[in-house]
Structure 1
């Protein structure tokens, strides 16, 4: 068991329902996998069940359109988890995962994680809560795409990204390693359209953007703004 693996596990809210003894067991079964920008971590359609926790860096979840262009669905930063097939062994991965920056990933084999849950059933309430929150967020994105205008869609997607930072209460500034091109890919917008919407939200003091980054200085203020429009 490595101290680094244990530290990453402690940072993941999905695992916060497990007692310390269980986290130590998980750290023994886990491996840390370094990655480089642009590296494909998991291919769409792979049949394997691994629970992955981002230790450092950023990972993007994406799909490919019929023309072969990557469509970014969401972005995970340190502490976030992914690999929902860990709960459904034998199911293929619906989406691929690619390193968005240099960093490291902690991987727990699915059979080891499921065995932990069976030995520590007190973790189930937290696990189900996190799965429910993720499902709610995904359905909200679908609703936003159908019903909201471009500022609403973009703002809600930024809030969705903030909410995927597990354990984040949205009470402090959040910064994403994200370009206008990435946001355009997520929303099916042009880069110019994204730039115009970001400038609009920036004038309201709701976002700040720099070279390759977007910051929400007050996520709750952005939420209130969007609720009123």
Structure 2
């Protein structure tokens, strides 16, 4: 199913797409297809061949890996208008992680072959793909540093702030669709520790916990919790 142009406003609400030249925006939309995924449906698997670039249009995508023993490592949970999948575009190597729909989800896809053909005709566009990947690399370094150096409570607060800002891709959001178990997996914390930190933040009026969601009530209090010393 071709990508309708009325999806452009959704994509323009994200930083990366909004900064692209109009000609590249048009070229991506012209070559894109829409996929509707059911809750839990796999988008791609770790080790799968490259399949192009994706953007979340609605719903959310869970990116992580599952060991042979069934233990899950959850890297991130992304919502609209987040773009992902660009690593395999550069190196042509298999997918590094699994991606599943978190609830009913709609994604836009530009296939690997057509995207490489476009970039071959317009090599200046590679810079924009590199900027997309460099943003992810910057966030990955920040996450690694925080995992090594920060206590659990400020690390959790910083991750909530990062998610509230759409990982730098979209404007601030006050409701994060994320279960406590998923947040614990993302931060390599126990569920009990995660629950206790969230309860403390709720008692301070920084957030409100509901089923499967975290509503951020006071970002300044959350920023205070994210500080060290």
TM-score scaled by length of structure 1: 0.85
Pairwise CA distance, 1:80:
0.5
SS of residue paired to 1:68: coil
Aligned length: 227
Partner residue of 2:177?
177
- Superposed CA deviations along residues 34-68 of structure 1, whole A, max 9, x for unmatched, are 00111111101112141100000011101113521
- What's the RMSD between the two structures over aligned residues? 2.5
Partner residue of 2:158?
156
Partner residue of 1:191?
191
TM-score scaled by length of structure 2: 0.85
1:133–1:22 Cα change, 3 Å: closer
Greater displacement, 146-155 / 217-226: 217-226
Greater displacement, 37-46 / 82-91: 82-91
Contact 2:42 2:99 in 1 (8 A): yes
Partner residue of 2:22?
20
Contact 2:162 2:168 in 1 (8 A): no
Greater displacement, 20-29 / 178-187: 20-29
Aligned pairs for 1:39-118 (under 5 A) are: 39-117=41-119
Pairwise CA distance, 1:83:
0.3
SS of residue paired to 2:155: helix
Partner residue of 1:203?
203
CA distance in 2, matches of 1:115, 1:215: 43
User: Structure 2 regions of 5+ residues with no counterpart?
Assistant: none
CA distance in 1, matches of 2:87, 2:24: 21
Greater displacement, 110-119 / 61-70: 110-119
Contact 1:30 1:108 in 2 (8 A): yes
1:66–1:192 Cα change, 3 Å: same
